[in-house]
Every structure is written in C-alpha cells, then in structure tokens.
Amino acid sequence: MSSAPSPDAGSSVPAVEMHGISKRFGDVVAVDGVDLQIGDGEFFALLGPSGCGKTTTLRMIAGLDIPSEGRLAIFGEEVASWPPDRRPVNTVFQAYALFPHMTVAQNIAFGLQMRGIRGPDADRQVAEATALVQLEGMEHRRPSQLSGGQQQRVALARALVNHPKVLLLDEPLGALDLKLRQEMQVELKALQREVGITFVFVTHDQEEALAMSDRVGVMSEGRLLQVGTPAEVYEHPANRFVADFIGRTNLLEGVTEGPAAVRLDAGAVVAAANELAVGSPAALSVRPEQVRLHRRSEAPAGAPCLDGVITDATYLGHAFVYTVAIGPTAGASGTHAGERAATITARSETGSAALAAGEPVSVSWSPEATTVVAD
C-alpha cells in the first residue's frame, strides 16, 4: 500500500520513514512489511483492532522493540538499531507509566536530568511544561494523588518538556471516561498545533482517529492496509477490512461485471466504478447515511434501486436506523435462482416521516457514494 503524500512530505525530510519494517516474536509476526512516511508536523493516527501491530510499530519508532527487518529513519537518520535513550522521540505510554516514587515535578524533570540539564534552566523548562498542560499547583503531588486526566497531563508534560522531534502516543485517552476523552481530544489537537511537533497516535477507536488526525494508517494483522486523510479512508476504503472497520457500512456481496458495474448476490446490477478484473468477487460498500429509503410506489427512476422490506426500525433521537431485508426472501419482483438475501442498514434524519417494520420499501443511493472493495 503506497502512502498518500502528506502536505509536508514533499518539501522536507519525513519525520518518520519506514521501509519493509517487520517484527517477529518467535513464530508470531506482529508487524509485517510496513512502508510508511510520516511528514514533519503531521498528526498521524495508527488505527486498528487490538493485536494488529500498531503498538509494536510505535514501540519500534521509540526503540523499545528492535525491528526484525527493514529500515527505519527519523528525520533522515537511520535509527533502527539505536537504543531508546539515543532517539529524539518521547512516548506517552498507555496507562501513562508515571514514576510513582517521584512527584509531578520530578517526573517532568526526569528526561532533562538524564540529558544533564539541571538547575535554573531545568526548573524553568519544567515550569513551562507544567503550565502548558495546566498543572500549576500540582508540582509536589505524587501520581497516586492525581485523577486519571491529571496523570495523563503529567505524562504529556514529561514527554513534551524534552522537545522531542516526534511524540509517540500509545492509546493515551483509553483510560479516560467518555466526556474527558472528548475534551482531551480537542485539547491534544490544539496542543499539537501549538508545539508543532509530529504526533504519532495509536488508537483502536476509529472515531478518535478520524476526529484528531491529519492522516490515518489502518492496520490489521500486522499489515498497513491503507494510509490517507480521514475523508479518503472513510469515503474510499481500500478493501473490505477498512470499509468495515472505519465507521458503519453495508457490504453487499457480488461479482464485478465490468469497470462500471457490479452484479449483487441479492439480485440487480448496479453502477459502481471499480478497477477489478471482470468477474472477480467484490463487495459494494454503502454507508448507512448514503442510503435513501422510498416507499415502494415512490421509487425514483434511473438510480440503482433495490426492493426490500423493513425488518427493524431503531430510534436514536437525532436519527432513525432501519434494517432493510433485500433479495429473494423479501418478496421483491424479478428474483432469480441463486440469488441470496442481504440486509441493508439505512439511516435517516428524524425529521422525515417514520417508517414502520414490515413496510415494503425501495432503497437507492448515488453511485458516487459507493466503493467497490475486494478482500
């Protein structure tokens, strides 16, 4: 998977550059041939389910794991075999890993001390970092006396005080409750703009990744499947996994019938641009919010239209989510042998007239709103 160029990647040396990076633990391949460029000043999210290799990738950038294979450069310097203390990167660890036997100020000063910065200069930098994360007045507390959100800020300050060239964040918001997490998302984003440091952010939360990052890399089973802006990844997923993992989607199984059409297993041939060989199995990804529902009699002519029956309607406050059964069992006209039933999830604003379960409907979408994905 080639990475899309970032805004800065062309103009300067990339902050992080990986070529064919793999990591094996015994027989287990944790990371499998990752190629990736992260631009200077970028907010980059590595996204994937647990066990997909995203944390291992981050740890290799930090130097906590050494790659089994491949090249790894930080601002042009080949660092793959360097120990962590030589690398110009710092990490905000999952669960923070604050030193329990040190105060907040001592935690923050640790990196400076280790680099031989002491005295008034160190004090000033610690004070700046403390102010940056709004922890003034907490300097003499122990980590155990702080709330989760405050501990998170200490972890940030402890890393940022060293002015790393790249800041690595391993699920930094995972331990916070929902409301605090959302606040910290906004704050972290603002902080990144303020300090201008490249952030590499590992998360399994796709909403978090989309909301915060300039670009997202989606990983699964050790492989980097797609890299792109949140919009690119959401609207044009590279394969079935990405389509399914990022947001909710309907995956309608079928076979390609040419560069512009797919024959769905549920019947009907629909227009859908694709670059696959004719006759290859593929799935059509349609986001629920792109699906339009019509009463059967009001179906628009021309647009791809599938007949179905509403099997479930869920009220969410701001929207309805409908499940529509399409294909042979739904009693749609003109079905053929071998066609299989499918369900489509549709989402509509609450303002529109509510439809009830059992109602026969037609579903449609604009061809541009769909992506054809293979495995």
Contacts of 95 (CB under 8 A, 6+ apart): 175
90 binds another protein (CB under 8 A): yes
User: In this structure, what DSSP letter does residue 6 have?
Assistant: P
Interatomic CA distance for residues 222 and 203, integer angstroms: 15
Closest CA to 249 of 368, 348, 345, 363: 345
- The correct pick among 76, 99, 354, 366 for binding another protein (CB under 8 A) is 99
How is residue 247 written in tokens? 């947001």
Within 279-338, the residues that bind another protein by CB under 8 A are none
Contact 354, 374 (CB under 8 A): no
| Residue 60 to residues 18, 63, 66, 78, 187, Cα–Cα distance (Å) | 10, 5, 6, 12, 27
> Nearest distance from residue 184's CB to another protein, in Å?
16
- The correct pick among 162, 239, 370, 371 for binding another protein (CB under 8 A) is 162
Within 26-85, the residues that bind another protein by CB under 8 A are 62-64, 83-85
130 binds another protein (CB under 8 A): no
> Nearest distance from residue 144's CB to another protein, in Å?
5
> Nearest distance from residue 147's CB to another protein, in Å?
11
| Residue 123, CB-side half-sphere exposure with 13 Å CA sphere | 2
- The correct pick among 115, 118, 124, 193 for binding another protein (CB under 8 A) is 115
- The correct pick among 153, 158, 215, 240 for binding another protein (CB under 8 A) is 158
> Nearest distance from residue 130's CB to another protein, in Å?
16
For 113, other C-beta atoms within 10 Å of its C-beta total 11
Interatomic CA distance for residues 17 and 167, integer angstroms: 15
Q: Which is nearer to another protein, 62 or 200 (CB)?
A: 62
Contact 243, 285 (CB under 8 A): yes
196 binds another protein (CB under 8 A): no
Q: Which is nearer to another protein, 150 or 343 (CB)?
A: 150
20 binds another protein (CB under 8 A): no
151 binds another protein (CB under 8 A): yes
Judged by DSSP in three states, 306 sits in strand
362 binds another protein (CB under 8 A): no
| Tokens 């130097």, located at residue | 63
2 binds another protein (CB under 8 A): no
User: Contact residues for another protein (CB under 8 A)?
Assistant: 62-64, 83-85, 89-91, 93, 95-101, 110-111, 114-115, 142-144, 151, 158-159, 162
